Structure 1
Amino acid sequence: MKRLLTVAEMTLRELARRRGVIALLLLLPLAFYLIRRDQYIGQSIRSLFIGIGWAVSTAALFSTIGARSIEPRLRLAGYRAHDLYLGRLVGLWTLGVLLAAPFLLLVSLDTTGLRYGAISLAMLCCVVIAAPLGMLVGYLLPREMEGTLLLLTAVALQMIIDPATTIAKVTPFWSSREIGTYAVDNMGTDYLVRGSVHGIAATLVMLALVAVVSSARLRRRPHLRQV
């Protein structure tokens, strides 16, 4: 547990040094919310969820790519693979909650008559799913620009695809749209149940992929050559 918390602290310190990047990441969810606000408040809140997911996943991408040179040294110091990726996830989830909290306050002050507990649950789903998603992209792609473009593409598809289609249901943030519909449009609990189940399933899938890819990557020894 101590090693896990150490890695989480290192992650938060690393991201804290990128204050400008974090500030810019906050602008996108805010822009998504304000642009749609005058048209339909439900759509603006759903867009806010996607913006939060993109911000957290992008922060996870930056953190993962930035830690590539440090993790092998930590492995030599006795840290196990799960200490590294779980510790990083704890740090990213903490950051995600801190990023989402002001937006939850904004929605509660700017609207009335909504199910704010469900709105907070949808934001939590976005944060929990986005952190391993960004880490996975960071493990698979070598540069921040490529990863950022891929995450932007995923967000764009999430907003364009009809949420009722089968393809939409396999996108990472579909759960937030279902829970958002329950929260904003006062729909039945079936939306809440579907969204919650999807959120749990997406989180487990992302965590499994991160565990496999991270463990395989840390087992490599590129500096060793067979003679």
Structure 2
Amino acid sequence: MNRLVTVAEMTLRELLRRRGVLLLLLLMPLAFWLIRRDSHVGQSVRSLLLGISWAVSTAALFATGAARELEPRLRLAGYRPHDLYLGRMLGLWATGLILSVPFFVLTVVDAPELRHGGVAVAMLCCVGVAAPFGMLIGALLPRELEGTLLLLTVVAVQMLIDPAGTGAKLTPFWSSREIATWAVDHTDSGYLTRGSLHGLAVTALLIGTVATVFSVRLRRRRHLRHLPIG
């Protein structure tokens, strides 16, 4: 547990000390909110949730890439693979929650007619899914440009796809749109239930996939070299 906390603190400090990065992460969801605010509050809330998802996923992508050089040294120091990926995930979740707080306050002040409990649950789903999703892309696509383009594609598809269609449920952030419908349009609780279950299922699936990918990669121990005998 101490090692998990240590890695989480390292990740959180690394992100928080980059003030320019934090500013950009804050501006992204804010821009999503402001662009849609004049048309319909429901669209602005959905855009805001996608902006938070994009911001946390991007932070996870770059944090994963930045930690590649440090991971071999931590492994030599006795850290196990799950200490590294779970600790980093905890730090990213904490970062996502910190980033979400001012935007939740924004919805309370600017849109008092919403079901703000639903908005909070939707933000939790966004952060919960985005952290392992960004880490997974960072692990599979070590080049940050390709990873960023893939994230951009996912967000674009999420914005354009019909949320009522069957294919929409296969997208990672469908849960936030479903819960947002309950929070904005005051529909029946089925939207909240379906969205919450989807968010939990996708988060669990991503965590399991991240665990598999990182365990295989970190146990290869590329920092060790076998010298020929003779």
TM normalised by structure 1 equals 0.97
CA distance in 2: counterparts of 1:167 and 1:28, whole angstroms: 26
Deviation at 1:221, TM superposition (A): 3.1
The residue aligned with 2:124 is 124
Residue pair 2:158, 2:171 contacting (<8 A) in 1 also = yes
What is the aligned partner in structure 1 of residue 140 from structure 2? 140
What are the Cα deviations for residues 58-87 of structure 1, in whole angstroms up to 9, with x where unaligned? 000110000001111111111111111110
- Is residue 202 of structure 2 the alignment partner of residue 224 of structure 1? no
Q: Which runs of 5+ in 2 are unaligned?
A: none
Q: 1:49-108 CA deviation, whole Å, 9 max, x = no partner?
A: 000000001000110000001111111111111111110011000000000000000010
1:199 lines up with 2:199 in the alignment: yes
Which position in structure 1 is the counterpart of 2:62? 62
Distance 1:176 1:168 in 2: 12
| Structure 2 counterpart of 1:135, one-letter code | M
CA positional deviation for 1:220:
1.3
SS at 1:195's partner residue? helix
- Give a deviation string over 1:173-216, Cα, whole Å, max 9, x none: 00000000000000000100100110010000100010000001
Q: 2:42 and 2:226 mapped to 1: Cα distance?
A: 57
Whether 2:31 is the aligned partner of 1:31: answer yes
Say whether 1:150 aligns with 2:150: yes
Q: Between Structure 1 and Structure 2, how many residues are aligned? A: 227
Residue 47 of structure 1 corresponds to: 47
- TM-score normalised by length of structure 2: 0.96
Structure 1 residue 84 and structure 2 residue 98: aligned?
no
1:131 partner letter: A
Please give the alpha-carbon distance, in whole angstroms, between the structure 1 residues aligned to 2:177 and 2:13: 32
AA aligned opposite 2:193:
V
Mean Cα deviation higher: 44-53 or 11-20: 11-20
Report the Cα offset of residue 110 of structure 1.
0.2
How far apart are the structure 1 equivalents of 2:192 and 2:227?
Answer: 55
Q: Equivalent pairs: percent with the same residue?
A: 65
Partner Cα separation in structure 2 for residue 18 and residue 149 of structure 1: 22
Q: Is the 8 A contact 1:22 1:59 kept in 2?
A: no
Q: What displacement does 1:225 show? A: 5.2
How far residue 22 of structure 1 moved from its aligned partner, in angstroms, is 1.7
Structure 1 stretches of at least 4 aligned residues deviating more than 6 Å after TM superposition = none
The answer to whether the 8 A contact 2:72-2:221 is kept is: no
Shift of 1:113: 1.9
Which residues of structure 1 form unaligned runs of 5+?
Answer: none
Pick closer, same or farther for the CA change 1:83–1:221 going to 2, 3 Å: closer
Superposition RMSD in Å: 1.1
- The question of 1:164 aligning with 2:169 is answered no
Q: How does 1:172-187 map to 2 (within 5 A)?
A: 172-187=172-187
How big is the shift at 1:11? 0.4
Distance (whole Å) between structure 2 residues aligned to residue 224 and residue 34 of structure 1: 53
CA distance in 2, matches of 1:137, 1:26: 21
Alpha-carbon distance between aligned partners in 1 of 2:174 and 2:86, rounded to the nearest angstrom: 24
Which amino acid in structure 2 is aligned with residue 199 of structure 1?
Answer: G
